[in-house]
Structure 1
Amino acid sequence: MFSAKALFQEIIDNDDSYRLFCSIAASGEAQGGWENGRIAALLPPAMAGLAPKVARHGADEDKHGRIFQALLRKRGLTAADVPEETDYTMLLERRGIGLAHDKLRRDAPLSELDIITYLSHSRVTEQRAADQMDMLTKYFGDHPEVGKAIRMISNDEDNHLAYCHEELLRLARAGHGRTIQRILHECANAEIAVYRDVSLAVMDHMGRILKWPAAKSAVLRAGIRAMYGYERAGGWRRMVSLSMPERRDALGGPATSTAEFA
């Protein structure tokens, strides 16, 4: 009844819903940039070779945050406050997924297990990001206002996902396979529930902004819950499998600049 393309078009066409969408996205990307920056600075000595890639990951996330801010400015909008119930990163942390921010704020080096946790968490969340950007690229990759941003971010997310696969496989070969699979399963089970909750919250806010009729909102909520049911039944497996990516050493070079987007 309601296609993803039609829904996103409706969100883009309204300044208030577009403002909320870009604000949520910018906040999440900036948070990811900070996390990766801290992890790069706190890597254990034995894993210091990962520092350029982790830093590149963080630089990409920071860039994405700036891109969403630039999209707002181009329309003459300022960032909106992000409702707590739509804060994907914070809600994952509250469930104990990934590395706690308290730990990242300290100056003590992280452990090898911390880095395995970080990479496993990233493998799951980057799968979600890559899937979302693939969908947006399919429908809006040629859009005159947001198309270039979507294509750039989508390419970066594919790089991030490839990097996670490659590094986790390297660690699995070093004897950490069972630990990696355990953490991947824990992250995936938590992520699909958080994604459901955040999706319901975002749709609720968008429905109020866009004045959707109750029937439309009910159908969308049912669709989100149905997707969660599919993921709980087995769709989560795409988030925990590991395979050598076609893009090797995907984060081995410098990050592209936001100037390319502008």
Structure 2
Amino acid sequence: MLSAKSVFQEILGNDESFRLLCSIAASGEAQGGWENGRIATLVPEGEQALVPKITRHGVDEDKHGRIFNALLRKRGLEPVPVPPETDYTMLLERRGIGLAHDRLRRDEPLSVRDIIVYLAHSRVTEQRAAEQMLLLRKHFADHPEVGKAVRMISHDEDDHLAYTHEELLRFAASGYGRLIQRTLRECALAEIRVHRDVSLAVMARMGRVLGWSGARRAVLAAGIRAVYLYERAAGWRRMVSLRMPERRNPLGGPATTAPEFA
């Protein structure tokens, strides 16, 4: 039976597909770590309370990248270059979502509007990350090879998502509600397109590595496109709603380490 679990099991069971998957994930997490690190150094004077939280976010992303690379090392594998069509972070930037890397490389303080753009971008992308990790946790939390990594990363992504809700609600209460909603909608509609394109590209690569039949590739591609159509019609709305998280100040403490993956 073709299911998310069976597809992931097949990917995990093959060294080449596993290497591609971990390489893509490690690259994206490392990029996120760099972005958050730069943003933390450029926070405007009036928002300095955000610095330790943004720093913590970046440290977590760096940790996730190291975890994926450690999973590769455990199999005696080396990372592979990330195909451009599977580079989620780069493709989002090309669509003008989030803060441009050229802006982050300049040593000029960000504005409050820039911080809201960053938080809205994070709110949308962390929704995706949290959902994907929840799916993996459902099926692979007890997996002997990747279970610990899945549980740890999933917990962090939940915290990151909660943090974006909390901070955006704070800014909304300060009079930025319309800017936040407009920015969230733009980010969500762009993200679902990029997610569709990246998913199709990744599945095409995996299909070639694993020797999937044309029929199987067609079924998976149809499923990805069906998800996109649902998200384009209504599913994107889950990415723009805001609610106060049950756990307040989720990034207020020190980052957890991953000694088992060091």
How far apart are 1:14 and its partner, in Å? 0.1
Aligned to 2:169: 169
What is the RMSD of the two structures over their aligned residues, measured on CA atoms?
0.7
SS class of match (2:17)? helix
| Counterpart residue identity of residue 138, structure 2 | K
| Counterpart residue identity of residue 229, structure 1 | L
Distance across 2 between alignment mates of 1:101 and 1:202: 24
| Counterpart residue identity of residue 64, structure 2 | H
- Check the 8 A contact 1:148/1:261 in 2, yes or no: no
How far apart are 1:247 and its partner, in Å? 1.4
Aligned to 2:221: 221
1:184-195 residue pairs with structure 2 within 5 A? 184-195=184-195
1:94-243 residue pairs with structure 2 within 5 A? 94-243=94-243
Distance across 2 between alignment mates of 1:246 and 1:71: 32
| Counterpart residue identity of residue 6, structure 1 | S
- Check the 8 A contact 1:152/1:261 in 2, yes or no: no
Distance across 1 between alignment mates of 2:43 and 2:259: 30
- Check the 8 A contact 1:29/1:64 in 2, yes or no: yes
Distance across 2 between alignment mates of 1:199 and 1:20: 13
Aligned to 1:65: 65
Aligned to 1:55: 55
1:245-260 residue pairs with structure 2 within 5 A? 245-260=245-260
Structure 1 unmatched runs, 5+? none
| Runs of 4+, deviation exceeding 3 Å | none
Distance across 1 between alignment mates of 2:137 and 2:110: 36
Distance across 2 between alignment mates of 1:4 and 1:154: 17
| Counterpart residue identity of residue 165, structure 2 | H
Distance across 1 between alignment mates of 2:234 and 2:74: 41
Identity of aligned residues (%): 74
Distance across 2 between alignment mates of 1:53 and 1:253: 8
How far apart are 1:261 and its partner, in Å? 4.4
Distance across 2 between alignment mates of 1:248 and 1:123: 16
| Counterpart residue identity of residue 253, structure 1 | G
Aligned to 2:77: 77
Q: More displaced, 125-134 or 252-261?
A: 252-261
- Check the 8 A contact 1:88/1:198 in 2, yes or no: yes
How far apart are 1:111 and its partner, in Å? 0.6
| Counterpart residue identity of residue 11, structure 1 | I
TM-score (norm 2): 0.99
Distance across 2 between alignment mates of 1:246 and 1:87: 33
Aligned to 1:88: 88
Aligned to 1:46: 46
- Deviations along 1:169-199, whole A, 9 cap, x unmatched? 0000000000000000000000000000000
- Deviations along 1:112-157, whole A, 9 cap, x unmatched? 0000000000000000000000000000000000000000000000
SS class of match (1:2)? coil
Aligned to 1:3: 3
- Check the 8 A contact 1:60/1:255 in 2, yes or no: yes
Distance across 1 between alignment mates of 2:161 and 2:109: 25
- Check the 8 A contact 1:59/1:255 in 2, yes or no: yes
- Deviations along 1:44-83, whole A, 9 cap, x unmatched? 0011110000000000000000000000000000001100
| Counterpart residue identity of residue 123, structure 1 | R
- Check the 8 A contact 1:137/1:151 in 2, yes or no: yes
How far apart are 1:258 and its partner, in Å? 2.1
